[in-house]
Amino acid sequence: MKILITTKYIDKKGWYDYFSENSKSLFRTLFYHKVHYGLRFIKQNVPQIEVLEFPTWEQYCRTLAQGWDVVGFSFHTMDWPRILPMVEQAKKAKVSQVWGGNYGVLDPVAAPHFDRVFTGYCEQALAEIFGHKIERLRHPPLVDQWYIRPSPLKVQRVGIIQTQRGCPLNCSFCQTPAFAPGVSTVPIESVEEVLAWYRKNGVRWIGVYDEHFGVKKEHTMKVLELFRKYGLFWTAQTAAATALANLDLWRRHNLMGLGLGVESFDCRALAAWNKSAKTSQTVREVTAKLHEASLYAGGYYILGHEEATFASTLEEIETLDSLGLDFVQTTILTPFPQTPLWEHLEKSYGIFEKDRGFFDTKHLTWNHPAMSADQLEKLLYYACLRLNRPGRFFPFMARVFGAYAGHLGSYSRALALALSFPYNSLRFNENAPYFK
Ligand code: SF4
């Protein structure tokens, strides 16, 4: 059976840049999202399947013309306006079946368009189609190339790793509990295989992309030992309470910094979202500890909870600024299908937005009782300007350098390491291969 799995199409060189969505500063980090982590996991573990990452429309049509039994789409809710015409094109091309996967298929608007949908991580289900069982899930090399704007120079190769999948918490705005309930671990042999490859191939910075790093304690400990064994420096996203409980341990194992969910300062919002009322206090404590150790702290924040007004949101932005986070991802409260938040907002206020392209957490999609879409989107723009200003970026860079020096035991070793990054970016192929 010939199976192709693809992502949404993009405009020529229209790769997603996470940092430009959150920072309006001339000086910032930049990386184009060219590697689709989920698709590469599939290809690594089910090599019979072909994958196509972020094609242009023309590339997609050319690939479709090669003839496929199945075309599958991996997408998020906001990708739907681009996925739908791709699905229609596949049907026109007489593909026998179209399949859907990833968080996007939780949406009842999207799901009926597919002959088969896969929720959750689906390598095993795909392998079974070819009559085999995955004995050990392998982790493919996933390398992103980072730049520092406005310089066009390649600065750092960043290796992505996933050590655990899913999250045991139930934040009411989050789709993870519906997508991947429970927590599973990626086999430690596979984690070691990819970390060893990173070290050999000029990657020293590791981004841990677990939904919630540190949940499985024993497994996390083994991963930490591997970071130290291979001399890799790492960063992860996690809950503030998990960070606080583990900070000293993680610091001793080459931690560079953390992304922390602040979410809100308003206790009513935190209660409605099933978050602890102490979250922001814990983030303040963790941030201070990280900064003391010259490690960076990033944060995630949601504007526009139902009690918020224009004036109170301006105050929230100032309070958020006072945390001194090095980088903040600010979003607008967005309901996603199959979350308790969706049901609540739909029932209490109504979700007016029909275009799924606006469910990107940067637009207002429901009837806020006190603010218009225009007001909230202006506040978001202001927050991006205010929080991620150049005055925050340069201390962040100094912290990163200080963290390398701390872990390596001297500033000269840190300098030698930093100088090797651009060289390694030129020396190694940007597109990482799969393991044989
Ligand atoms: S902690 Fe993060 S991943 Fe877990 S449910 Fe909350 S938002 Fe989702």
Q: What is the pLDDT of residues 181-216, one digit of tens each?
A: 889 999 999 999 999 999 999 999 999 999 999 999
- Token pair 């980072």 is at which residue? 146
Q: What is the mean pLDDT of the chain?
A: 96
- Own/partner long-range contacts of 370-378 (Cβ < 8 Å, ≥24 apart): 370/308, 370/309, 370/310, 371/304, 371/308, 371/309, 371/310, 371/313, 375/310, 376/303, 376/304, 376/313, 376/332, 377/332
Angle made by CA atoms 165, 170, 173, in degrees to the nearest 5: 100
Q: What is the mean pLDDT of residues 91-111?
A: 97
What is the predicted pLDDT for the residue at 136? 97
Q: Considering just the CA atoms, what is the radius of gyration of the chain in Å?
A: 22
Check pLDDT > 90 for residue 16. Answer: yes
Check pLDDT > 90 for residue 153. Answer: no
What is the predicted pLDDT for the residue at 430? 84
Residue among 176, 183, 273, 282 whose CB has most ligand 1 atoms within 8 A, to mutate: 176
The CATH number of 3-129 is 3.40.50.2300
Atom 6 of ligand 1, residue of closest alpha carbon = 171
Check pLDDT > 90 for residue 365. Answer: yes
Check pLDDT > 90 for residue 81. Answer: yes
Query: Rounded distance, CA 143 to CA 154, Å?
Result: 13
Query: Rounded distance, CA 10 to CA 79, Å?
Result: 10
Angle made by CA atoms 286, 287, 291, in degrees to the nearest 5: 120
Of the pLDDT bands very low, low, confident and very high (cuts 50, 70, 90), residue 429 is: confident
DSSP 167: B
Check pLDDT > 90 for residue 151. Answer: no
What is the predicted pLDDT for the residue at 411? 97
211 lines ligand 1 (CB under 6 A): yes
What is the predicted pLDDT for the residue at 152? 84
Query: Rounded distance, CA 71 to CA 49, Å?
Result: 10
143-423: which CATH number, 3.30.2350.10, 3.80.30.20, 2.60.40.10, 3.90.550.10? 3.80.30.20
Query: Rounded distance, CA 264 to CA 123, Å?
Result: 36
Check pLDDT > 90 for residue 229. Answer: yes
What is the predicted pLDDT for the residue at 276? 87
Alpha helix ranges (H) inside 201-265: 217-229, 240-251
Of the pLDDT bands very low, low, confident and very high (cuts 50, 70, 90), residue 283 is: very high
Query: Rounded distance, CA 356 to CA 114, Å?
Result: 17
Query: Rounded distance, CA 221 to CA 250, Å?
Result: 9
Which ligand 1 atom sits closest to the C-alpha of 168? 4
Percentage of the chain modeled with pLDDT above 90: 93
Q: What is the mean pLDDT of residues 388-399?
A: 93
Check pLDDT > 90 for residue 277. Answer: no
Cβ atoms within 10 A of the Cβ of 273, count? 24
* Cα 40 to ligand 1 centre (Å): 24
Check pLDDT > 90 for residue 112. Answer: yes
* CATH 3.40.50.2300 segments of the chain: 3-129
